[in-house]
Structure 1
Amino acid sequence: MSAAEPAKSGTYKGLKLTNTLTRQKENFQAIDDSNVRLYVCGPTVYDFAHIGNARPAIVFDVLYRLLRHLYGVDHVTYARNITDVDDKINARALRDFPDMELNEAIAKVTKKTADQYHKDVAALGTLEPSHEPRATEHITGMIQMIEDLVAKGHAYVADTADGGEVLFDTVSMPDYGGLSKRKLDEQIAGARIAVDNHKKNPGDFVLWKLSSPEEPGWDSPWGRGRPGWHIECSVMSEHHLGKVFDIHGGGLDLIFPHHENEIAQSRCAHGTKTMSNYWVHNGFVQIEGKKMSKSEGNFFTIRELLETENFGGRKWPGEVLRLAMLMTHYKEPIDFSVRKLEEAENLLGKWPDPIETDVPPAAEVLDALNDDLNTAAAIQALHSLAGEAGKDPAKLAVYSASAALLGVHPVQADLSGIDETAIQAAIDARLNALNAKNWAEADQIRADLTSQGILLKDSKDSETGARITTWEVKR
């Protein structure tokens, strides 16, 4: 083991995580209990985040909350980056602002998109990370790491007409492919296209590339250019969490090539046996049983789900989106559907309003989360607690603490500015529709109210059997 590489010396506190690196569920032990470190790949801010991007934001927020509970709020560091230099951003800036100077257009695109991302994930109930580094803030560190890789024989300047492109030499790392379990010789044998003339090997990837005068760029030993995608996270994670840290997270789609190449860069630059001790990846998101794509017409951004009626003909509150995501184990693919959202909304409608409390969460909820973030089991346990709390107010505190641990914490909203007369009129209209057996109109009225954050609860008068509808506002 390198002198630069710390060992797992922390106390086992009951948490088990499936480690993509070993394909095993392992006991989690931190490097340092006083500073447990988590890094998650954040958005590339060229477009609004889609519902697939919401899943890692929610999943790793639950892990962050759990780590804070186990180790203490002040002993967990969570870094989630923003990629704000990327060719997709350049293309979006040129498309949206063709008459604007490119750097100004890029700044406009990245600010608008990052601001919307922050608004979206806040609506999903996520905590702010400890650090949110941006790629453009760490260019100097990227240049330094690339220089180190070249000096150590793990990277080379490509032989091109213009020069200036630096590539990572995958053959220089004998165990390259350890995360994805892809052997380098298999990648070469299975290559379907001819190797670029300037590459030594098919799997070699870009660390630095030249920029044209019209493109954003920074001065470097290889000419004015910009970094490749993978080098960003290697540098930003080291800056905030160290050369070796505890947990690296992201979606399954990032295992190869992004996370594989992060590992290669970091290990070869620092001389360590690992970059992160645990690698955790969430599964894919399908929409109504199909892969999400714009060509299928089923591509939805978080903003659309929150603010428009493009999915299921209505808006969806953030807490409903969050709960629907957590009803499936993070490793499994999730079928995101109107039915699942309605199921989540129905659950929330049955749960009592929580209270502020400092009691510990229920053991059954904590045990479920400690078992590889089994949020599905935790929600089942929480539902049972909700039923008990509804019958016994003394149990409300434990329910509230358990809901907070999951981040599914529906709280009574401020009623100021609510038009109670209009709400009651809508409820009366719905009742008339139900009496007339006009189910479609009744459902539409309920959906309209829900989109405004007004949740209806139906019950029956114990003596007359008449329908009684009450309402509450949920944030």
Structure 2
Amino acid sequence: MHAWPASEVPALPGKGRDLTIHDTATGGPVTLDPGPVARIYVCGITPYDATHIGHAATYNAFDLVQRVWLDTKRQVHYVQNVTDVDDPLLERAARDNVDWVSLAEQETTLFREDMTALRMLPPRHYIGAVEAIPGIVPLVERLRDSGAAYELDGDVYFSVEADPHFGGVANLDAAAMRLLSAERGGDPDRPGKKNPLDPMLWMAAREGEPSWDGASLGRGRPGWHIECVAIALDHLGMGFDVQGGGSDLAFPHHEMGASHAQALTGEFPMAKAYVHAGMVGLDGHKMSKSRGNLVFVSTLRREGVDPAAIRLALLSHHYRADWEWTDQVLQDALARLERWRAAVSRPDGPSAETLVDEIREALADDLDAPSALLAVDRWAALQEERGGTDEGAPGVVSRAVDALMGVAL
């Protein structure tokens, strides 16, 4: 599966700071020192509907991670998946009487277009769950054969007790985990499971649903968590730098994925930092496809909203914060974009040397994009009030905002 085209990242003078970021597993900040190649895995979409602002906020956060690393003169090995077969996709296709494969392809194409418009840097590897199945089957067999998994009426379940570190990502108690498992795709009440929290690794073929050859597992399709594990281990290996996604993925998805990988390899941890973006709400509730309270990136673009303004709206909130999308958020972003473009359109201006440092410092400090925006606001205000004599300053500001925040002025 192909990703989307990369926008050029301007080179800046000097070198950025190492990234300190909040790690869900430890509950505090960690300073990452990835070496010459930083490795990041971000969980992708289930393509049964268009990209909404909540998705965009998550991918914006991890785009910033990439940009901070690139500014430290590192390479970035970024991997993202597409869950292109799953119950919600099949249910939507059945509801709309369309082919599930065509629906997945259509929405993945739209996602690529949205990411391109928003200047999100593409992954080096963009892998669909279906294309990963040949690599998933042997992992499930290994877990079963080692005793870390078991069969139940033809399905294969992972035993959470096989990983002594289980529970160390989201750090939730058993009651909270059971509740979230039921809400987020698990089946804690199924009779016969060794532990209610045990997640499915391989679902035996169901009538009327797609299935694939699973060798000794029989025909079926993979569970949700093992898909990302197979892709991450194949392309990044254990101990990669950042496992990323929305905060709703901390449990069960990232918790279970870490345990799968750790049971398979005997190594710990799967990722050095588990990083989670906050949820975006609308009308008092988290944006979700099930509730239908969505603002789509593609709809805003069709209405003529500049993608740079959408990006500024996302950047105006700290990535870990839960926040509400409103018309005022967008209007503020549009006004900011207009001020910034006016400021960099002049032939000269106030010195921007300290501004670049301010942006770097803010983003290296747990991706503090709102502080970075305020730094640019201050420079733009000086430009408007009294201008300056530095002929290179507007160009430096324009390149810094593009390189570090993905906003083209």
Fold conserved (TM > 0.5)?
Answer: yes
Q: Specify the TM-score bucket, using the shorter chain as the normaliser.
A: 0.7 to 0.9
The amino acid of 2:81's aligned partner reads N
Q: Which runs of 4+ in 1 moved over 6 A?
A: 188-194, 294-297
Once residues 184 and 173 of structure 1 are traced to their aligned partners in structure 2, the CA distance between those partners, rounded to angstroms, is 15
Counterpart in the other structure of 1:327:
316
Counterpart in the other structure of 1:281:
276
Question: Of 318, 326, 339, which aligns to 2:328?
Answer: 339
Cα deviation code 1:365-399 (max 9, x no counterpart): 10000111000000111122334456234311321
Change (3 A) 1:67 1:215: same
Question: Of 24, 30, 33, which aligns to 1:26?
Answer: 30
The amino acid of 2:259's aligned partner reads A
Cα deviation code 1:255-276 (max 9, x no counterpart): 0001100001001001111100
Cα deviation code 1:398-421 (max 9, x no counterpart): 21232113334334xxxxxxxxxx
The amino acid of 2:232's aligned partner reads S
- Give the C-alpha shift of residue 95 in structure 1: 2.8
* Pairing 1:409–2:407 present: yes
Counterpart in the other structure of 1:447:
none
Counterpart in the other structure of 1:182:
172
* Pairing 1:260–2:250 present: no
| Structure 1 segment 142-221 matched on structure 2, within 5 A | 142-158=136-152, 160=153, 164-184=154-174, 195-220=189-214, 221=216
Once residues 91 and 189 of structure 1 are traced to their aligned partners in structure 2, the CA distance between those partners, rounded to angstroms, is 23
Cα deviation code 1:263-322 (max 9, x no counterpart): 0100100111110001111111012544335787632222222224xxxxxx52211111
Cα deviation code 1:41-66 (max 9, x no counterpart): 11011111222111111111111111
The amino acid of 1:123's aligned partner reads A
- Name the TM-score, length of structure 1 as normaliser: 0.74
| Structure 1 segment 92-111 matched on structure 2, within 5 A | 92-97=92-97, 105-111=99-105
- Name the TM-score, length of structure 2 as normaliser: 0.85
Counterpart in the other structure of 2:113:
119
The amino acid of 1:58's aligned partner reads N
The amino acid of 2:339's aligned partner reads K
Total equivalences in the alignment: 377
Question: Of 226, 232, 246, which aligns to 1:231?
Answer: 226
SS of 1:304 mapped into structure 2? helix
Counterpart in the other structure of 2:349:
none
Q: Percent identity?
A: 33
Once residues 189 and 285 of structure 1 are traced to their aligned partners in structure 2, the CA distance between those partners, rounded to angstroms, is 22
- Give the C-alpha shift of residue 117 in structure 1: 0.5
Change (3 A) 1:318 1:204: same
Counterpart in the other structure of 2:57:
55
Once residues 344 and 157 of structure 1 are traced to their aligned partners in structure 2, the CA distance between those partners, rounded to angstroms, is 53
SS of 1:362 mapped into structure 2? helix
- Give the C-alpha shift of residue 222 in structure 1: 2.0
The amino acid of 1:21's aligned partner reads A
Cα deviation code 1:240-269 (max 9, x no counterpart): 111221111110000000110000100100
* Pairing 1:304–2:299 present: yes
The amino acid of 1:298's aligned partner reads N
Counterpart in the other structure of 2:87:
87
Contact persistence 1:177–1:260 (CA under 8 A): yes
Contact persistence 2:282–2:326 (CA under 8 A): yes
- Give the C-alpha shift of residue 190 in structure 1: 11
Counterpart in the other structure of 1:137:
131
Counterpart in the other structure of 1:43:
45
The amino acid of 2:407's aligned partner reads H
Of the structure 1 ranges 286-295 and 199-208, higher mean CA displacement relative to structure 2 is found in 286-295
Contact persistence 2:177–2:252 (CA under 8 A): no
The amino acid of 1:91's aligned partner reads E
Extract unaligned runs of 5+ from structure 1: 1-11, 99-104, 309-314, 412-475
Counterpart in the other structure of 2:72:
70
Extract unaligned runs of 5+ from structure 2: 1-15, 346-351
SS of 1:324 mapped into structure 2? helix
The amino acid of 1:245's aligned partner reads F
What is the CA RMSD across the aligned residues, in angstroms?
2.6
SS of 2:50 mapped into structure 1? coil
Of the structure 1 ranges 57-66 and 187-196, higher mean CA displacement relative to structure 2 is found in 187-196
SS of 2:360 mapped into structure 1? helix
Contact persistence 2:86–2:224 (CA under 8 A): yes
Q: Which is bigger in relative contact order (C-alpha 8 A, separation at least 6)?
A: 2
Once residues 291 and 244 of structure 2 are traced to their aligned partners in structure 1, the CA distance between those partners, rounded to angstroms, is 29
